[in-house]
Amino acid sequence: MKPLLRLRDQSSRLVVGLMSGTSLDGVDAVLARLEGSGLALDVEQEAFAHAPYPDALRNLLRRNSTGEDSSVRDLTRLDARLASCYSEAVDRVLSEAGRDRRALDLVGSHGQTVQHLPEPADCAGEEVRATLQIGNPSTLATHLGVPVVGDFRSADVALGGQGAPLVPYFDYVTCTAPDEHRGLLNLGGIANLTVLPADGGPTDVRAFDTGPANMVIDALAKRLFDAPLDRNGRHAASGTPDHDLLADLLEGEYFRREPPKSTGRETFGADYVDRLLGAAESRGLDAADTMATATLLTAASVYQAYAQYLRTEHTLDVLIVSGGGIHNDTLMNMLSDAFAPIPVRPATEYGLAPDAKEALCFAVLAHETVNGVPTNLPSVTGASRATTLGSISIPGPEPTPSN
């Protein structure tokens, strides 16, 4: 308890944030100096590093992220294996900054989502909502000798919320403007959109997952071109989108569901890609046209979500984009076309590193957990009330050397 009390009393903390998302490409790690809380939060990013997953680990994670193929034995071992990966990512970002573990105060780890089931369903005679992120925080804290905050989604789900998205609290405290309605779009495996009204409070924030971003595009790149991704969107740029197929895709159940809502591999994983490929083949589309259609699906579903559920309250003055999808030039051009005349700008123009944003978010969330500050936004997730997020794991004392 004493280490936690000391940590609570610190006004300034050096924190690592870790994010491993639905793309299953690896772990993003950010080192940041954090001070204050809420709108008075001061964030100074010191370093960023990406630690790719080995192919064998990525494949095992993908197999165990589907209900049909997962194994409780594999999941148990992956829980420990990922903690080791996260420890290596922490050391990597500390090395980038020229620091060691002794300087570190706290780690915030999102964990790897293997199942996200926020809608109530029967479990042994009782309806439950559930979410599971692996990469055990207690194991990680023990490896590092540093307190770790993890399991950020469960408390919100327990209160009837979606447990996602979690980035809107970070968006609110770092990007709210006094005179500009801002949209913040993160293009990871899944796309999530946050709307920050000018000079708004936390109850004014609106956000939800709009659908797939890189998840479907990357899966198609692997199937059609034997590549991990469509680099710079060049394959999509060489094709022509099929607008009839796009219209059919946009009629999908998730796109028609009203917020609050969140999604992941359960909806837009391998089965979805199989169906998309089957529909494309039946329409005679070649590989480039299929990729162009899937890329436009991301852009069109983001705009459709904004137009249906957000525009009536607040017309955006700007859309600020972060995440790996920012490097897909074709996707960015499609977003610009969809949102015109609203400008679409990279997060770098607002002082945010687009690849580091989600990891930095979990550094902030961990910092606020120790501060005792609620960081879920019920207006976003649908939870019955605001609550602090995450569980705190404190490492045991170092053994006393024997004489």
Count of domains for the chain: 2
Q: How many whole angstroms separate alpha carbon 290 and alpha carbon 275?
A: 12
111 has which bridge partners? Answer: none
Report whether 16 contacts 27 (CB < 8 A): no
For residues 14 and 149, membership in a common domain is answered with yes
Asked if the structure places residue 400 within a domain, the reply is no
For residues 257 and 112, membership in a common domain is answered with no
For residues 43 and 136, membership in a common domain is answered with yes
For residues 158 and 9, membership in a common domain is answered with yes
Over the range 173-191, which residues count as b (16 or more CB within 10 Å of their CB) and which as e? bbbbeeeebbbbbbbbbbb
| pTM of the predicted model as reported, rounded to 2 decimal places | 0.93
Asked if the structure places residue 331 within a domain, the reply is yes
For residues 383 and 315, membership in a common domain is answered with no
Structure confidence at residue 401 (pLDDT): 55
For residues 373 and 320, membership in a common domain is answered with no
Asked if the structure places residue 171 within a domain, the reply is no
Q: How many whole angstroms separate alpha carbon 220 and alpha carbon 279?
A: 13
Asked if the structure places residue 28 within a domain, the reply is yes
Asked if the structure places residue 172 within a domain, the reply is no
State the CATH number of the domain containing residue 290. 3.30.420.40
For residues 32 and 105, membership in a common domain is answered with yes
For residues 247 and 214, membership in a common domain is answered with yes
For residues 381 and 346, membership in a common domain is answered with no
For residues 328 and 364, membership in a common domain is answered with no
For residues 130 and 220, membership in a common domain is answered with no
For residues 186 and 80, membership in a common domain is answered with no
What does each of the 403 residues of the chain score in pLDDT, given as a tens digit? 677 778 888 889 999 999 998 888 899 999 999 999 999 999 999 999 999 999 999 999 999 988 778 999 999 999 999 999 999 999 999 999 999 999 999 999 999 999 999 999 999 999 999 999 999 999 999 999 999 999 999 999 999 999 999 999 999 999 999 999 999 999 999 999 999 999 999 999 999 999 999 999 999 999 999 999 999 999 999 999 999 999 999 999 999 999 999 999 889 999 999 999 999 999 999 999 999 999 999 999 999 999 999 999 989 999 999 999 999 999 999 999 999 999 999 999 999 999 999 999 999 999 999 999 999 999 999 999 999 999 999 998 775 554 4
Asked if the structure places residue 402 within a domain, the reply is no
Q: For residue 211, what are the domain limits?
A: 178-350
What distance lies between CA 341 and its chain's CA centroid? 28
Q: How many whole angstroms separate alpha carbon 31 and alpha carbon 14?
A: 7
